[in-house]
């Protein structure tokens, strides 16, 4: 089993935090989580649970070491951390194609195309 050390977590988190030097917004969470997931994706020595723990560790560090000016950290940090834990599996499922979004869109296009063809041939 391979896990990121505290020093590795801090180093990765510092890189992420540098991207948000304009100030932290809660919506940055939706940028940070996929970015951190990409960082650990190539860690072949880590299994899925270890990768998730690494992503959580880096995101937790970022959350703990940034301030949201409009809410107290003791209230918002636990919510953001829980959001990270809920967002990771959703992103993983999306990358595995489990939502079928493209299938639905493409199926809809095919139906619309067929309907347009049928409408065009019936007008003639």
76 closest CA partner among 14, 20, 26: 26
Q: What is the C-alpha to C-alpha distance for residues 66 and 14, in angstroms, rounded to an integer? A: 11
**60 belongs to a structural domain:** yes
pLDDT more than 70, % of the chain: 77
**13 belongs to a structural domain:** yes
The total number of structural domains that make up the chain: 1
Average pLDDT, the chain: 79
Containing structural domain, residue 58: 6-99
pLDDT in tens, 26-75: 778 788 888 888 888 877 788 888 889 989 998 998 888 887 777 788 88
**110 belongs to a structural domain:** no
Q: Which residues contact 49 (CB under 8 A, 6 or more apart)?
A: none
Q: Taking the model in full, what pTM does it have?
A: 0.69
pLDDT surpasses 60 at 1: no
For the stretch 17-21, contacts whose Cβ atoms lie closer than 8 Å and that sit 24 or more positions apart, written own/partner, are: 17/62, 17/65, 17/66, 20/66
Q: Region 68-84: what's the mean pLDDT?
A: 86
């Amino acid at each position: 089993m391979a896990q990121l050390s505290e020093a590795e977590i801090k180093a990765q988190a510092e890189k992420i935090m540098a991207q948000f030097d304009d100030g932290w917004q809660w919506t940055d969470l939706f940028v940070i989580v996929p970015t951190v997931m990409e960082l650990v994706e190539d860690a072949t020595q880590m299994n899925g649970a270890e990768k998730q723990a690494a992503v959580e560790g880096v995101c937790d560090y970022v959350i703990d070491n940034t301030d949201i000016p409009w809410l107290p950290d003791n209230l918002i940090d636990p919510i953001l951390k829980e959001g990270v834990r809920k967002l990771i599996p959703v992103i993983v499922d999306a990358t595995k194609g489990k939502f079928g979004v493209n299938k639905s869109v493409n199926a809809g296009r095919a139906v619309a195309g067929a309907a347009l063809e049928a409408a065009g041939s019936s007008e003639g």
